[in-house]
Chains A and B, each alone.
Chain A
Amino acid sequence: MFRFIVKRLFGIIPTLLIVSILVFLFVHMIPGDPARLVAGPDASYEDVELVRQDLGLDKPLVTQYFTYMSGLFQGDLGTSMKTKRPVFDEIADRFMPTFWLTIWSMVWAIIFGLLIGVISATKRNKWQDYTGMFTAVSGISLPSFWLGLMLIQLFSVQLGWFPTGGNDSWTSYILPSITLGAGVAAVIARFTRSSLMDILREDYIRTGRAKGLKENIVVWKHALKNAMIPVVTMTGLQFGFLLGGSIVVETVFSWPGLGRLLIDSVSYRDYPVIQAELLLFAFEFILINLIVDVLYGIMNPQIRY
Chain B
Amino acid sequence: MENGTVITQSDELIQSKPEKVKTPLSEFWRKFKKQKMAMVAATFVLLLIIVALIGPFIAPYSATEPDYDNILSPPSLEHLAGTDAFGRDIFSRIIEGTSISLYVGLTSVFIGAVIGTVLGLLSGYYGGRLDSIIMRICDVLFAFPGILLAIGIIAILGPGLENVIIAVAVFGIPTFARIVRSSTLSIKESVYVESAISIGAPARRIIWKHIFPGTLSSIIVYFTMRIGTSILTAASLSFLGLGAQPPSPEWGAMLSSGRDFLNSAPHVTFFPGLAIFLTVLAFNLLGDGLRDALDPKMKD
Tell me which of A84-92, A137-145, A224-232 binds B: A137-145
Q: Are B145 and A141 in contact (CB under 8 A)?
A: no
List the B side residues contacting A244 at CB < 8 Å: 145-148
Tell me which of A121-129, A148-156, A170-178, A294-302 binds B: A148-156
Tell me which of B69-77, B122-130, B272-280 binds A: B272-280
Task: Indicate which residue in A30, A242, A248, A267 contacts B156 across the interface (CB closer than 8 Å).
Answer: A30
Task: Indicate which residue in B37, B144, B235, B273 contacts A278 across the interface (CB closer than 8 Å).
Answer: B144
Q: Once the chains are docked, how many angstroms separate the CA of A281 from the CA of B155?
A: 16
List the B side residues contacting A22 at CB < 8 Å: 140
Contact with B along A13-39 (1 / 0, CB 8 A): 011001100110011011100000000
Q: Are A19 and B148 in contact (CB under 8 A)?
A: no
Q: Given A149-B273, A244-B147, A266-B154, do A144 and B140 touch, yes or no (CB 8 Å)?
A: no
Q: Are B236 and A143 in contact (CB under 8 A)?
A: yes
Q: Are A251 and B148 in contact (CB under 8 A)?
A: no
Q: Which of chain A's residues 227-275 have a Cβ closer than 8 Å to chain B?
A: 239-245, 247-248, 251, 262-263, 266-267, 269, 274
B117 at the interface (CB under 8 A from A): no
- Chain A interface residue count, CB cutoff 8 Å, equals 48
Q: Are A149 and B262 in contact (CB under 8 A)?
A: yes
* Nearest CB in chain B to that of A21: its residue: B140
List the A side residues contacting B152 at CB < 8 Å: 23, 26, 274, 278
Task: Indicate which residue in B232, B242, B259 contacts A141 across the interface (CB closer than 8 Å).
Answer: B232
List the B side residues contacting A142 at CB < 8 Å: 277
List the B side residues contacting A104 at CB < 8 Å: none
Q: Are A15 and B136 in contact (CB under 8 A)?
A: yes
Q: Are A15 and B158 in contact (CB under 8 A)?
A: no
Q: Are B148 and A247 in contact (CB under 8 A)?
A: yes
List the A side residues contacting B179 at CB < 8 Å: none
Task: Indicate which residue in B139, B145, B156, B276 contacts A241 across the interface (CB closer than 8 Å).
Answer: B145
List the B side residues contacting A150 at CB < 8 Å: 269-270, 273
Q: Are B139 and A251 in contact (CB under 8 A)?
A: no
Q: Once the chains are docked, how many angstroms separate the CA of A285 from the CA of B145?
A: 7
Q: Once the chains are docked, how many angstroms separate the CA of A263 from the CA of B242?
A: 9
Q: Are B136 and A145 in contact (CB under 8 A)?
A: no
Closest chain-A Cβ to B143's Cβ sits at a distance in Å of 4
Q: Are B143 and A286 in contact (CB under 8 A)?
A: yes
B160 at the interface (CB under 8 A from A): no
List the A side residues contacting B37 at CB < 8 Å: 134
Closest chain-B Cβ to A247's Cβ sits at a distance in Å of 7
Task: Indicate which residue in A29, A31, A240 contacts B145 across the interface (CB closer than 8 Å).
Answer: A240
List the B side residues contacting A247 at CB < 8 Å: 146-148, 151, 240
Task: Indicate which residue in B145, B147, B277 contacts A146 across the interface (CB closer than 8 Å).
Answer: B277
Q: Which of B154, B239, B285 has the most CB of A within 10 A?
A: B239
Q: Are B285 and A137 in contact (CB under 8 A)?
A: yes
Task: Indicate which residue in A138, A140, A157, A282 contacts B143 across the interface (CB closer than 8 Å).
Answer: A282
B255 at the interface (CB under 8 A from A): yes
Q: Once the chains are docked, how many angstroms separate the CA of A273 from the CA of B242?
A: 17
List the B side residues contacting A157 at CB < 8 Å: 262-263
Q: Which of chain B's residues 248-266 have a Cβ closer than 8 Å to chain A?
A: 252, 255-256, 259, 262-263, 266
Q: Once the chains are docked, how many angstroms separate the CA of A241 from the CA of B149?
A: 12
* Nearest CB in chain B to that of A137: its residue: B284
* Nearest CB in chain A to that of B273: its residue: A146
List the A side residues contacting B144 at CB < 8 Å: 278, 281-282, 285
List the B side residues contacting A284 at CB < 8 Å: 145
Q: Once the chains are docked, how many angstroms separate the CA of A266 from the CA of B139?
A: 24
List the A side residues contacting B155 at CB < 8 Å: 26-27, 30, 266, 269, 274
Q: Are A243 and B145 in contact (CB under 8 A)?
A: yes
B105 at the interface (CB under 8 A from A): no
* Nearest CB in chain B to that of A144: its residue: B236
Q: Are B280 and A251 in contact (CB under 8 A)?
A: no
List the B side residues contacting A266 at CB < 8 Å: 151, 154-155, 242
List 22 A-B residue pairs with CB atoms under 8 Å apart, sorted by A's residue number.
Answer: A15-B139, A15-B140, A18-B136, A19-B143, A26-B152, A31-B156, A138-B277, A138-B281, A144-B236, A145-B255, A146-B269, A146-B277, A149-B273, A240-B145, A241-B145, A243-B148, A244-B145, A244-B146, A266-B155, A267-B241, A278-B152, A285-B143
- Chain A residues close to B by CB (< 8 Å): 14-15, 18-19, 22-23, 26-27, 29-31, 134, 137-138, 140-146, 149-150, 152-153, 157, 239-245, 247-248, 251, 262-263, 266-267, 269, 274, 278, 281-282, 284-286
